[in-house]
Amino acid sequence: MLNNLTKPHEYPGKLFVVEGIDGSGKTTQLGLLAKWLSAAGQRVFVTEWNSSALVKAATKTGKKKNALTPMTFSLLHATDFADRLLYKIIPPLKAGMIVLADRYTYTAFARDATRGVDRQWVRELYSFAVQPDMTLYFRVPIEVSLDRLMARRVKLKFYEAGMDLGWSGNPVESFRLFQGKVLDEYDRIVDEFGLEVVNAVGSITEQQRLVRSLISRLVHTTEVEIPDDEPL
Amino acid sequence: MTSPSEPTVGDVEGANGGIQPGRYYGRGIPYLPIDGYPGKLIAIEGTDGVGRSTQIQLLREWLEVKGYGVVETGWTRSPLMQPTIEVAKSSNTLNKLTFVLLYATDFADRLEKEIIPALKAGFVVLSDRYIFTALARAGARGVDRAWLRSVYSFAIAPHLVFYLNVDVKTLIRRVLEARGMDFWESGMDLKTGDDIYESFRTYQSKLLKEYASMADEFHFRKLDARRPIDRIQDELRRQVEAFLEPAEKPAEPALVSRT
């Protein structure tokens, strides 16, 4: 069995991951982290979950016809991830760059298990993945994330709200039920894979300060000091 | 990640007592319990050009005459993935891992939407190729075997697996006779050289070796594909009959028997 995900990689670069449900603020934090690292003279590459061209077509067809089952949903995302890992993530790591991933395998572990896919199977499915140097999990209560999404007038996405499971015909209620279970899965994952938990309820600046102090343990950022109160 | 406590597909360690026909190989699909489904799953395996589809056609006819409901399924025929796989193949962007995962996705779709419903409804499902095709192709490309078996551990172990065995020389002639060699069947993605004939021969030999190595692990019933079509068919029918008859009485005595 491959065990890449559970042993440190040997590339000169660094892989940092942010995880959390929609509305946890992880993408905002990742953006600020990227700014800081770039300003410090680091070469940074940002990659998002579910963004490779290869399976976009299939995901779209599947969604349109509402035809994805939990298993095909899981395998499609693994395909997408494999493509992105080999073409987008590993090359910059080999080149000694910093790769920032907005969601990683843990997103799949949490969502797929919630959809009823076997937990151990998903973990083995992704055992080809590179182990991140650090994963920051932005933990947020479901109501806070929903408030944030509603404030931005975000239309809840079909699969993101777990509408495919038919637990509720109401998108908000479905999101609450589905992401509530996703949060439980994340809690397991935190212990299993040693994720760093960031309390995502605090202010953006406060969170970013913690993020930077955690990351600075692993990256030498001599050119720019961590400011106490960086205007954001 | 903890080590798996249940068997995955087959068993690379060698003790393959874990395979139970008609059940999931490994952990399976938790939200789709299949225990007690009356249908039967029969897989016909073999490389290109061994005459699988001809045999399946004949077998289907015979089964239907005997009163069995038959559903056919193939490899890469799911509406969900077909366009994607075609695109990926034509642009040669498939790498080893995405190759495996795309086909696994396709198979999962077919398993859930065709095979499992048919088994539930009591059909005899004839599968033109099965997961062994994927395991052989990926194995020939050097993909980790334990990982492959784990990925496919959601598959259902067929009640019968027939393997149409052939030597590479016969295989080459048959493929050339039928339609010529194509990029993927020739393993050109493995970049063993520009000579498509040599590449085909090398790749198909590797595939045959992979199949041979799976024969015991997955309880293949080997048939010599070089024999005449009707001889192979007779053998197939004899074995299928021996399996089906004790399990289930045909709808009525056969009125016409094909000889």
Read off the pTM.
0.86
B contact residues 18-47, partner A, Cβ 8 Å cutoff? 26-31
What is the tens place of the pLDDT at every residue in A55-70?
A: 666 666 655 665 789 9
Among the residue ranges A62-76, A179-193, A201-215, B49-63, the one predicted with the least confidence is: A62-76
pLDDT level of residue B79 (50, 70, 90 thresholds): confident
Across the interface, do A116 and B83 touch by the CB < 8 Å criterion? no
pLDDT attached to residue B197: 85
What mean pLDDT do residues A122-131 have? 97
**Chain-wide mean pLDDT for chain A?**
90
Q: Which of B79, B95, B112 sits opposite A71 (nearest CB)?
A: B112
Domain ranges of chain B: 40-243
User: A106, A128, A192: which to substitute to probe chain B, counting the most B Cβ within 10 Å?
Assistant: A128
Task: Give every CB contact of residue A41 below 8 A, 6+ residues apart in sequence.
Answer: A223, A224
Q: Could you tell me the CA-to-CA distances from B58 to A118, B53, B239 in Å, in that order? A: 39, 9, 14
Average pLDDT, chain B: 85
Report the range of poorest mean pLDDT among A216-220, B12-16, B108-112. Answer: B12-16
Region of poorest pLDDT, from A37-51, A88-102, A209-223, B233-247: A209-223
Q: How confident is the model at residue B15 (pLDDT cuts 50, 70, 90)?
A: very low
The mean pLDDT of B59-77, rounded to a whole number, is 93
- CA distance linking residue B60 with residue B40, whole number of Å: 13
Contacts of A70 in chain B (CB under 8 A): 31
**Averaged over A90-115, what is the pLDDT?**
97
> Tell me, what's the pLDDT at B3?
42
Interchain contact A113–B (C-beta under 8 A): no
For the segment A170-206, what is each residue's pLDDT rounded down to a tens digit?
A: 999 999 999 999 999 999 999 999 999 999 999 999 9
Banded model confidence at residue B177, pLDDT cuts 50, 70, 90: confident
pLDDT over 90 at B171, yes or no:
no
What domains sit in chain A, N to C, each tagged with a CATH number? 4-213 (3.40.50.300)
| Average pLDDT of the residues in B210-224 | 95
Q: Which of B84, B98, B113 sits opposite A82 (nearest CB)?
A: B98
What is the distance, to the nearest Å, from the Cα of residue A44 to the centroid of all Cα atoms in its chain?
17
Pairwise pLDDT comparison (B251 vs B73), residue with the higher score: B73
DSSP secondary structure letters along chain A? ---GGGS----SSEEEEEE--TTSSHHHHHHHHHHHHHHTT--EEEEETT--HHHHHHHHHHHHTT---HHHHHHHHHHHHHHHIIIIIHHHHHTT-EEEEES-HHHHHHHHHHTT--HHHHHHHTTTSPPPSEEEEEE--HHHHHHHHHHTTPPPPTTTTTGGGTS-SSHHHHHHHHHHHHHHHHHHHHHHHTPEEEETTS-HHHHHHHHHHHHTTTS---SS---SS---
Range A4-32 average pLDDT: 95
B148: pLDDT strictly greater than 60: yes
Our CA-based measurement puts residue B78 at a distance from the nearest CA of chain A, in whole angstroms, of 11
Nearest chain B residue to A109 by CA: give it: B1
- Asked if residue A218 has pLDDT above 90, the reply is yes
> Which of B31, B84, B111 lies nearest to residue A58, judging by beta carbons?
B84
Residue of chain A minimizing CA distance to B109: A72
B248 vs A69: CA distance, rounded Å: 32
**Given a cut of 60, is residue A163 above it in pLDDT?**
yes
Q: Provide ipTM, 2 decimals.
A: 0.86
**179-218 of B, contacting A, C-beta below 8 A:** none
pLDDT at A52 over 80: no
CATH of domain B40-243: 3.40.50.300
- Residue in chain B lying closest to A193 (CA): B1
> Using 50, 70 and 90 to split pLDDT, how confident is the model at B88?
low
Residues 6+ apart with CB under 8 A from A166: none
Is residue A153 very low, low, confident or very high in pLDDT (cuts 50, 70, 90)?
Answer: confident
The nearest CA of chain A is from the CA of B30 a distance in Å of 6
Is A116 at the interface with chain B, CB within 8 A? Answer: yes
